[in-house]
Amino acid sequence: MRLLPKSLFGRLVLVLFGGLIVAQLLSAVIAFAERDRLLLRASGMRPAQRIADIVRLLDSVSAEERARIVAVLSVPRERVSIDRMPPAEPDAEPNAREAMLAAALRLAIGDDRPLRVTVREAPGWRPERMPRGPMGGAPMHRMPHGAMAMLTRVRLADGSWVSFDAQLPRDAAELPQRLLLTLVVLLVAVLVLSFVAVRWVTRPLGVLARAAEELGRDLRRPPLPESGPTEVRDAAHAFNAMQARLVRFIDDRARVLGAMSHDLKTPLTRLRLRAELLEDEDLRARFEKDLTEMEAMVAGTLDFMHGLGTAEARQPVDVMALIESIQADCEEMGGEVRVEGTVREPYVGNPALLRRSLVN
């Protein structure tokens, strides 16, 4: 597939990154699904019993005592006030959260008296003092920016209304933002660690690849260090063992050819001495030329097997002259060689190798 990275490092990073993204998305979906339940439990279900107890207490005391009780019960996160006038009818039907909180509050109070529950975004950042209620209740405050507020109004037995303006815990209200921040931090941390871990794991593969490439140019290169994890040590050990076997193989073949070359040098020397005794100078020159080629081939083969062979310098070669020389040698031995066409430009190459390939 074209979308897949070509390197092992890229594919491992892609798999880890993709798996982590999927896991984080599933975690976020689960967390957001639980958010409403957590908010309800943190902000409404637990205070329901407290509000019911306060309502019963206010029903049992006189109007003068209510003002003192309201002042005592008001705390920074929950302001209590009393109003003679009923609250205005809501513009919209209560949502599921408000209906659930109202049902829990009715269950805690134990009767069907009128009540209103409103959950809203708390507006404003700077606390703003609100007017005191008619009964001298504690002043109301707007909640900090970004928080949630729950306004609960319950009718008392004498027809007045008690209001509870409670601020939801900021931790619960800011759950999505904190969750997203946590997921992002976790994602970045795991990605960085995954990048470092994958790079650390795949680095020996790069070292092994470079060593294999160098082995083709230098059979006697230094062996790989056998360090790191068990798998890396095993791979390095196997590579070094292969290199040692190749060196032994080449050395054995070189020793065999070396012995053969020594055996060949003796008859070649005898042939050279006998060629010197030939009276025909032209024949003697051709003998010496053939002997020189044989010695060069033996020496080149030995150098190659020892790993010492180096590329000879390339030079312009007169191809026509080379072909005519080969043709003359073949005709001298009774062969028939026909040459068609001509080569006008010299060919840059190795004369000995060209001659050997054409003769073969």
More confident residue, 37 or 223: 223
Question: Do 127 and 144 touch, CB atoms closer than 8 A?
Answer: yes
Mean pLDDT of 331-349: 78
> What SS3 class is residue 305?
helix
Give the Cβ contact number of residue 47 at 10 Å. Answer: 22
The proportion of the chain whose per-residue pLDDT surpasses 90, expressed as a percent, equals 3
pLDDT band at 311 (very low <50, low <70, confident <90, very high): low
pLDDT band at 242 (very low <50, low <70, confident <90, very high): very high
**Which pLDDT score, from 0 to 100, does residue 303 have?**
65
**Taking 80 as the threshold, does the pLDDT of residue 160 lie above it?**
yes
Mean pLDDT of 73-78: 80
**Which pLDDT score, from 0 to 100, does residue 307 have?**
53
More confident residue, 237 or 124: 237
**Which pLDDT score, from 0 to 100, does residue 42 have?**
54
**Looking at the chain, how many residues does it have?**
360
pLDDT band at 244 (very low <50, low <70, confident <90, very high): very high
Q: What is the mean pLDDT of the chain?
A: 76
Question: Do 43 and 166 touch, CB atoms closer than 8 A?
Answer: yes
Residue 217 tokens, joined: 């140019």
Question: Do 186 and 35 touch, CB atoms closer than 8 A?
Answer: no
**Taking 60 as the threshold, does the pLDDT of residue 241 lie above it?**
yes
Give the global pTM: 0.41
Amino acid identity, position 340: E
Question: Do 115 and 102 touch, CB atoms closer than 8 A?
Answer: yes
CA distance 166 to 79: 6
Please choose, from the candidates 181, 204, 167, the residue with its C-alpha nearest in 3D space to the C-alpha of residue 43. Answer: 167
CA distance 307 to 314: 20
Lowest mean pLDDT among 54-63, 122-131, 260-269: 122-131
Dihedral over Cα of 341, 342, 348, 354: its sign: positive
**Taking 80 as the threshold, does the pLDDT of residue 61 lie above it?**
yes
Question: Cα(first)–Cα(last) distance of the chain, in Å?
Answer: 47
Domains in the chain: ranges and CATH: 8-178 (no CATH), 223-310 (1.10.287), 313-360 (no CATH)
Mean pLDDT of 209-229: 85
**Taking 60 as the threshold, does the pLDDT of residue 21 lie above it?**
yes
